[in-house]
């Protein structure tokens, strides 16, 4: 049985195509059933489908690769010829290496992002529920998840900010020892603020106020994070209780002025306030940074943090790649060991069969009245000749062809002393 990985991701296919071949959770059981029960040559299967990738991890029979691209295209009603150039495929250890890199976040759009590991586990769980994940893939995924965990714990791949949203939360954690006890106001409801909200939730921050010009958008975001929605007209009042304010609205002029922040600080008795302006044009007047007890950062300030974080993650990624290489080397050695076991078994079986044949012949000779010493000598000669016939023929042929490696291997295999100079 061979391991096959096939898929497309953010580096090989545009988002329009990735959307077309994404698997909805409700259709996964049917897809897995088709792959493992109705598709020739596929024994086991796991499907990983995210916004940035769709990948199929398969245990297949033999050397012939099934036409999974055509099946994938057919399942999603996509033109196979248009899909094929965007698809990559790996076998055996190359497939395992790819799986390890994906699970470790090394193949992600954001280097080292942690969500992919959870998505990986969800994909395995779905395949188990569909009875599509058997012994072969379970063993493979056990190794993959083990190395992904080591990458997380033994490297700094996920510890440094590589996005302004993450950097905002990371900086806030340096100012406030316990973010979960902080009151947070988010100004805006776009993609950047959504990412900020997710990172804050991950730090245990609850009851976030979302302030936005369009109240419906604020309500949508607030509902996903267990927060509260407010209109922009209520911003001045909301920041009076805010320890952290992060803004990204896309407004043409600042929505937070120095006077508004000064009034809020009077109410707060000048407790520290951490403010981040992620917008271009700015949402927060630059003069706000002149207020004592207010820590104001712009997107340019954060970019420096992001660049440093990316450099550190890249260094961690090199360490992670070495961990993966070492794991694959160990895996390769085990595979070679399994092959040796099979060879040894075949050798023992064939030798045992020859021994039993010669033993039966010797017993008949004894029963016919031949002297025992004569029979035993003949048995010894026959066993020696039978055991060494095939190796002898192979060695003679190798010598005639100038292949000295087989002769040298024979010396090592049978521990023959006094090896002659074969050059």
Active site residues: 51
> No. of H helices and E strands in the chain?
15, 10
Q: Which helix (H) or strand (E) holds 110?
A: none
Q: 3-class DSSP state for residue 39?
A: coil
Cα atoms in the 13 Å half-sphere on the side-chain side of 64 = 4
27-31: Cβ within 8 A, 24+ apart: 28/126, 28/130, 29/126, 29/129, 29/130, 31/75
Q: Which residue has the tokens 């033993």?
A: 359
Buried b (16+ CB within 10 A) or exposed e, 330-365: ebeeeeeeeeeeeeeeeeeeeeeebeeebeeebeeb
Nearest-angstrom CA–CA distance, 375 and 366: 7
The residues, ordered by sequence, that sit 6+ positions from 182 with a Cβ below 8 Å of its Cβ are 172, 176, 205, 243, 244
């Amino acid at each position: 049985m061979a391991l096959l990985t096939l898929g497309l991701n953010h580096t090989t296919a545009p988002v329009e195509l990735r959307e077309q071949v994404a698997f909805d959770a409700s259709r996964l059981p049917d897809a897995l059933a088709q792959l493992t029960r109705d598709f020739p040559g596929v024994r086991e299967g796991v499907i990983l489908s995210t916004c940035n990738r769709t990948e199929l991890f398969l245990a297949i029979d033999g050397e012939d690769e099934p036409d999974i691209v055509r099946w994938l295209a057919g399942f999603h009603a996509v033109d196979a010829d248009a899909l094929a150039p965007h698809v990559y495929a790996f076998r055996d250890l190359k497939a395992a290496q790819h799986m390890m890199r994906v699970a470790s976040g090394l193949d992600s759009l954001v280097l080292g992002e942690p969500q992919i590991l959870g998505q990986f586990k969800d994909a395995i769980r779905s395949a188990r529920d569909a009875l599509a994940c058997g012994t072969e893939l379970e063993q493979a995924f056990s190794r993959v998840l083990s190395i992904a965990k080591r990458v997380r714990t033994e490297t700094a791949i996920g510890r440094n900010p590589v996005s302004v949203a993450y950097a905002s939360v990371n900086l806030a954690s340096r100012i406030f020892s316990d973010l979960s006890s902080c009151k947070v106001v988010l100004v805006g409801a776009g993609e950047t603020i959504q990412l900020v909200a997710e990172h804050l939730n991950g730090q245990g921050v609850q009851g976030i106020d979302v302030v936005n010009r369009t109240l419906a958008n604020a309500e949508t975001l607030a509902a996903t994070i267990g927060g509260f929605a407010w209109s922009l007209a209520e911003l001045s009042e909301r920041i009076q209780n805010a320890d952290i304010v992060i803004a990204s609205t896309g407004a043409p002029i600042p929505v937070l002025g120095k006077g508004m922040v000064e009034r809020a600080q009077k109410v707060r008795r000048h407790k520290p306030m951490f403010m981040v302006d992620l917008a271009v044009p700015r949402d927060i007047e630059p003069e706000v940074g002149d207020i004592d007890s207010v820590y104001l950062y712009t997107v340019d300030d954060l970019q420096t943090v992001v660049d440093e974080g990316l450099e550190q993650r890249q260094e961690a990624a090199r360490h992670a790649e070495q961990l993966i290489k070492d794991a694959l080397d160990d895996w390769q050695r085990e595979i070679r060991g399994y092959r040796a076991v099979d060879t040894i078994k075949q050798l023992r079986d064939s030798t045992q069969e020859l021994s039993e044949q010669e033993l039966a012949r010797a017993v008949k000779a004894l029963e016919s009245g031949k002297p025992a010493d004569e029979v035993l000598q003949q048995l010894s000669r026959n066993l020696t000749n039978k055991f060494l016939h095939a190796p002898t023929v192979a060695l003679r042929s190798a010598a005639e062809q100038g292949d000295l490696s087989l002769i040298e291997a024979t010396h090592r295999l049978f521990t023959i002393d006094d090896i002659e100079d074969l050059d």
